[in-house]
Amino acid sequence: MGKWQRNKYLPVLPLGKDGRRVTGSAEHIALSRKAAGEGMVLLKNEAGTLPLAQGSKVALFGKGTVDYVKGGGGSGDVTVAYIRNLYEGMKEKEAEGKVSLFHELPLFYEQEIQKQYADGAVPGMTREPEVPEELLLRAKAFADTAIITICRFSGEGWDRKCQITEEGYELFDNEKKQMELSASIFENGDFYLTNAEQALVDTVTANFAHVIVVMNVGGMVDTSWFINCPEIQSVLMAWQGGMEGGLAAADVLLGDVNPSGKLVDTYASSLEDYPSTENFHKSVYYVDYTEDIYVGYRYFETIPGAAAKVNYPFGFGLSYTEFLIEPSDAKETDGQIQVLVKVTNIGNRPGKEVVQLYCGAPAGLLGKPAKELKAYQKTRLLLPGETQTLKLLFPITSLASFDDLGKVCLSAYILEAGDYVFYVGNNVRDAKKIDYVYTVPQTRITEQCSALAVPHKLPKRMLSDGTYEELPMDDGPIEEEGLPRQDKNHLEGFLPETKAQPRVSLFDLINQGSNQPCLLDVAEGRITLDELIRQMSIEVLIELLGGQPNTGAANTFGMGNQPKYGIPNIMTADGPAGLRINPECGVNTTAWPCATLLACTWDPQLIEQIGAAGASEVKENNIGIWLTPAVNIHRSPLCGRNFEYYSEDPLVAGKSGAAMVRGIQSMHIGASVKHFACNNKETNRKDSDSRVSQRALREIYLKAFEIIVKEADPYTIMSSYNLINGVQASENKDLLTGILRNEWGFRGMVTTDWWTHGEHYRETKAGNDIKMANGYPERVLEAYEKGCITREEIETCAKRILEMILRMD
């Protein structure tokens, strides 16, 4: 096809073989099912309860048996042709002669849940019905094995276990609705079982000899109710597995797929054991990141007494077979640490294993976590007795820590003197120290940076011994003078202006087009982009800096749209669980497993395949930018959007996100990596200030973005709604220009999140190139006329937008 033909003319041209559509195709749905099975994590399996033996008689308990949650809500939702729940998956296995089901129970749940759906409930936000006594007795007479399914739903715009302090904050209608609904269903907070769910568990464990639990959830939940319960022999974290998640769970339960997923978060004994819980809801206006770099396993494996609070450690996951992991060689080579590891399947089933390499650094003057993940790799499917040697590599510079107080050298990455030891295994707790030691004889600077995005009101931060050090505080940040701030009510939900074309002669248009320089001239080398931009009026340049009207099946608006200059209107679409097209368009797409599940595969190659497949659906529907991946850190189990993010660990998040971006952009579709940065809370997300140290910002919350920028070269990055140390992320020049572009060398375009509370011209000055979904050209023009912004600053952002468009087909 010609350049930008899909964007200009919206042709109905399938991308599949033999003229078939790839959107929602059987091949993509099969890939979704495969990925779901790869990422499910077997947490518990006593007495070989799983996989279910051939011909097992099974009773399916819990509304989650039919009330299946394929993924979270908001931008992560997807319109699909069907969703397969666990009951439907198990019925397929029954048809294959592998299991016998007691069908009365699922039929009971279907009737009860359909009633709740009819009253307006959505999957996962339903109440657990009580099973009639006579139905329980018939189930008990039929089967001695019971499977309990627990499901949870969360979505964009609200947090789990919501609460609001008395600060005068007025809830949006959706926030209020979701908070009240969640509180009424989950009286203990949805991290824990409801009273009705606990009663169900008690009933089932009292009546069945073998009990299996399936968790259809998007992230961290309470595990204390089953870890030490002998009546529950097996637990499968099935996550939110996309449209085929129920069948994928059945694949694992029956042994058609050997589980190889590993946890990407730490599962503690209680919600209060996470250091972030204490101040998560302290204020709606700010969050103090006082745990600093000690997030997730960095906290639990380092801080005295914290290890005892862990139920399941980071990286943990069982298999139906066993593996022998043997480090065979380790050395420094070309500025990298290389460790070779032999993995042998010593069990009796084919399976895959994940090898994880951790570093233990000397505490030095800066203080370090006890262990940090530095590399990982998944084996191929190993037959019993088969061995594979894996090569794990990472740069020595990644061992350095950021010094934000000048204890060694201010604003520099420091590789402190001492011995660096390494651990190899299949989870952080059981990883074994290897013989190899890397010794740094003298402390050295690996990179000198500048003090950027400095905190002003963060009072303290945690140290490696669990105590706190005080941090300097001041009255900053000081805002540069400019136009009075817009009323925030004028920034919420406005649509881009649809410009009418005046009556004009067709022949004049043809003649004008033959003489008018356009973007295609730049693409084909006849003029430079700078030459084209110099011909544009300030009004045209400013119009480029805002979102444009939808075309075709798009519903999240476009970028570009200057026909006079041959600039196409590039449509965007939400992610990350699939191409999101509104139901009224009549297009069903593929729902992929949630991001947490994909990360649990520990398989970047598989994630890259999903990125390419998803991008082909985006392209086939004449859309150019997919607003995914989302790579914010799982700082707290309470964040309502964790299902959309990968992990508590920035390396896993970064490697997973980079793989997704490579896959997407292999189709010449732009990925938009979000939300940059510290978008770890949904309550009052547009005005909440994330107060975080420079060190934690760089080592934890920005690291995944840095990995993606340097390994995958994303077309776009999306700035977040929240403030970072007192400055809107979308107006944060330190973040968007100082770190992202000047330090990391990012060469793409930055977009705001949709309808931020940032001032458009201030965003432009900071290096935020386009305001979505709607720009405010009149405000930018006023700022230009009053000297608050220059043409050069406007041209710089416009040029990046056009450079992004030039990268597309």
Alpha helices in 56-132 (DSSP H): 86-95, 104-118
Catalytic residue among 159, 251, 753, 769: 753
Q: In the block, which residue shows the tokens 């000397």?
A: 362
- The Cα 355–Cα 261 span in angstroms is 12
Identify the burial level of 58 via C-beta atoms within 10 angstroms of its C-beta, where 0-12 means exposed, 13-18 middle and 19 or more buried: buried
Q: What is the DSSP letter of 320?
A: S
Nearest-angstrom CA–CA distance, 637 and 622: 37
What does the radius of gyration of the chain's CA atoms come to, in whole angstroms?
A: 27
According to DSSP, the β-strands at 468-470 and 412-415 are unpaired
Write b or e for each residue in 387-421: b if 16 or more Cβ atoms lie within 10 A of its Cβ, otherwise e. ebebebebebebbbbbbbbeebeebbbbbbebebb
**Secondary structure in 3-state letters for 413-451:** EEECCEEEEEEEECCCCCCEEEEEEEEECCCEEEEECCC
Active site residue 753: yes
Q: Are 311 and 267 in contact (CB under 8 A)?
A: yes
**How far apart (Å, rounded) are the C-alpha atoms in residues 617 and 591?**
11
How buried is 453 (Cβ within 10 angstroms: 0-12 exposed, 13-18 middle, 19+ buried)? buried
Euclidean distance between CA atoms 633 and 296, whole angstroms: 10
Q: Which amino acid does the sequence have at 234?
A: S
Q: Enumerate the β-bridge partners of residue 394.
A: 337
> Do residues 438 and 382 make contact, with C-beta atoms less than 8 angstroms apart?
no
Beta-strand pair 460-462/468-470? antiparallel
Token pair of 568 as six digits: 């196409």
Amino acid sitting at position 610: I
The b/e string for 191-203 (b: 16+ C-beta within 10 A; e otherwise) is bbbbeebeebbeb
Would you say 347 and 78 are in contact if contact means Cβ atoms under 8 Å apart?
A: no
What's the token pair of residue 306?
A: 């914290």
Q: Residue 569 and residue 548: Cα distance in Å, rounded?
A: 7
What is the residue-wise DSSP string for 270-289?
SGGGSTTHHHHTS-SSEEE-
**Where in the sequence numbering do the catalytic residues fall?**
753
